[in-house]
Structure 1
Amino acid sequence: MTITEVSEKFDIPQDTLRYYERIGLIPRVNRTKSGIRDYTEEDCKWVEFIKCMRGAGLPIEVLIEYVGLFQQGDGTIEARKELFIEQRRQLIAKIEDMKKTLERLDYKIAVYEQGIVEKEKALRRPEY
């Protein structure tokens, strides 16, 4: 696949894909004889993985560390697992914070809606 196809498939800007490759978040993508990136299915799996992890808020630095450990082989499985356990713990904490924020927003919306209802009632008073 070309970079354009991968960009469209995963809804990631081409510049972001180039950046991810440059900093080592995705392995070096093979190129055609004319120098055009030629993404394999395996490359696309990396792109999908990185997009998922970034969408969940994992920092680029953590992902770079993970990719580096992955490339070192099976001797780093435990370190990779621990890295993910810590990121999972942090993600759960973020989710809890977001739930509290959502509850507060729901409350504020309800307060405003109640205020609007009261205002509308006042405007519809019977005329004598």
Structure 2
Amino acid sequence: MTYVIAQPCVDVKDRACVDECPVDCIYEGKRSLYIHPEECVDCGACEPVCPTEAIFYEDDLPTEWSDYYRANVDFFETLGSPGGAQKTGAMDFDDEMIAQLPPQNQDYLQAHS
């Protein structure tokens, strides 16, 4: 099992979760953050600090965002398991589903800018 980052993170990428992650398994894509399913140790430190409430334990992922589990896994198909997000830095791509979304979470961005 693992944690999953869902729709509320798209185009926000607050990164509070990145600072809390003790194993550096939260990677940055172009429009969203992604949790590496093999590097995550299921500690849950990321979930309570997410200001957009975008992080869910896999079994608790809302039905309307169930595709985000696949997106989090598929993001790492070509990247593999580099052993920490700091080694790679921000990536210039996203999972195809996320890349094709229209702009998201604009109300949150306006309220926090």
**TM-score w.r.t. structure 1 length?**
0.26
Which structure is richer in relative contact order (CA contacts within 8 A, separation 6 or more)? 2
Greater share of helix: 1
Greater share of strand: 2
